[in-house]
Structure 1
Amino acid sequence: MRRRRVRPDRGLETGLLERHELVGGMDEVGRGSLAGPVTVGLAIVGRGTPSVFPERLADSKQLTARRRRALVEPCRDWLLDWAVAHAAPAEIDALGIIGALRLAGRRALAQVTARDHLPDAIILDGSNDWLAAPAADTGVRADRVDPAERAGPDSAVPPALPTPLVRTQVGGDARCAVVAAASVLAKVERDALMAALPDPGYEWASNKGYASAAHIEALSRLGASAQHRRSWRLPGLDVPDARR
């Protein structure tokens, strides 16, 4: 029997908006990739946000690339604010994947805070609260990464910010409209970033840094590049799996 696809709604975020002025949805993209950044999307809604969200909005994994791109502007128009931020491969190597997720998430929060839109609560996709975990050493260790190896012009180590209330939600990107919007925005931006990278033969444009057959073959032939997570055990290479 074919399983019915879950459609997002606004139930959870609407309930949180009864107690909080601003609510964010947050999702990550690229966690399991071999190369490229890990990317975090943040979508913000308020009590005045229209109740009807973009038509056919869904978890980015359930959408074609064309449909995701078509949803970007409707999502931006629907949301009160949004941000997408990254942690670079060198930062993933320095911090581990959880620390890098936290760094990217805090960079996204810093962007909306600069526009006076720091959310009071965040719906975080998944079961693990990687955003609010103690981060006392994240700024120090991230600051040791060469600025040239960080994730772009908006990738400074973020200032200390109050951490919003975090509500984890398994399947949040499929169930919650605000998290689905964050998922789409993050996926589209990261895909475009990967497709634009100089590529000596890894086929970034098609695999986006994930372990496709062509990517693995290129690793065995070309070795690891500056875009690869060198602390991971990369297929075909004798690299210690020290931080994964």
Structure 2
Amino acid sequence: MRPEDTELKSNRPSFSEEQKLWNSGYKLVAGLDEVGRGTIAGPVVTGLVILPESLSGEWVSHINDSKRMTPKRRQYVLSHLQDNAIVLQTGISSVEEVDQFGNF
């Protein structure tokens, strides 16, 4: 196996929390994550995705924390997210915005 194909395998998402919400009747369940330190090291970037409950395919097993994925694997998953997500968005908050509004 080439180094660019390896990734840490622990702590893969189980979708158990999402499944609980879907089972409770929620139709749209959003997941989001942010990266950045705001005023310490620059802007904060946040990504949000809403996936269909019926999501399937071999690629789903590769969804993981982006910091645990190789660049090649991130691109692979992103291409499938772009094709399958109900919503896929990113947002950037500048240092000034974080100073003014905080990092929620």
Q: State if a TM-score over 0.5 links the two structures.
A: yes
CA contact (8 A) 1:54 1:78 kept: no
The answer as to 2:20 corresponding to 1:15 is yes
CA contact (8 A) 1:8 1:58 kept: yes
- Residue 32 of structure 2, aligned match among 26, 30, 39: 26
Q: Aligned-pair RMSD on alpha carbons?
A: 2.3
- CA distance in 1 between counterparts of 2:39 and 2:63 reads 24
Corresponding position of 1:82 = 88
- Aligned identity (percent) is 33
**Which structure 1 segments of 5+ residues have no match?**
102-129, 131-244
Select the structure that is richer in strand.
2
- CA distance in 1 between counterparts of 2:77 and 2:52 reads 20
Q: How does 1:1-244 map to 2 (within 5 A)?
A: 5-18=10-23, 19-31=25-37, 34-47=40-53, 49-52=54-57, 54-95=60-101, 99=102, 101=103, 130=104
- CA distance in 2 between counterparts of 1:70 and 1:51 reads 15
* Letter in structure 1 aligned against 2:87: D
Shift of 1:71: 1.9
- CA distance in 2 between counterparts of 1:51 and 1:7 reads 16
TM-score calculated relative to the size of structure 1: 0.34
- Of structures 1 and 2, the one with the larger relative CO (CA 8 A, separation 6+) is 2
- What per-residue deviation string (whole Å, max 9, x for no partner) do you get for residues 101-123 of structure 1? 3xxxxxxxxxxxxxxxxxxxxxx
Give the greater-gyration-radius structure (CA). 1
- CA distance in 2 between counterparts of 1:9 and 1:84 reads 23
- CA distance in 1 between counterparts of 2:67 and 2:39 reads 14
Question: What is the number of equivalent residue pairs in this alignment?
Answer: 94
Q: Secondary structure at the match of 2:13?
A: coil
Shift of 1:16: 0.4
Q: 1:84 to 1:91 in 2, by over 3 A?
A: same
Corresponding position of 1:179 = none
CA contact (8 A) 2:36 2:44 kept: yes
CA contact (8 A) 2:38 2:95 kept: no
- CA distance in 2 between counterparts of 1:93 and 1:33 reads 7
Q: Secondary structure at the match of 2:62?
A: coil
**Which structure 2 segments of 5+ residues have no match?**
1-8
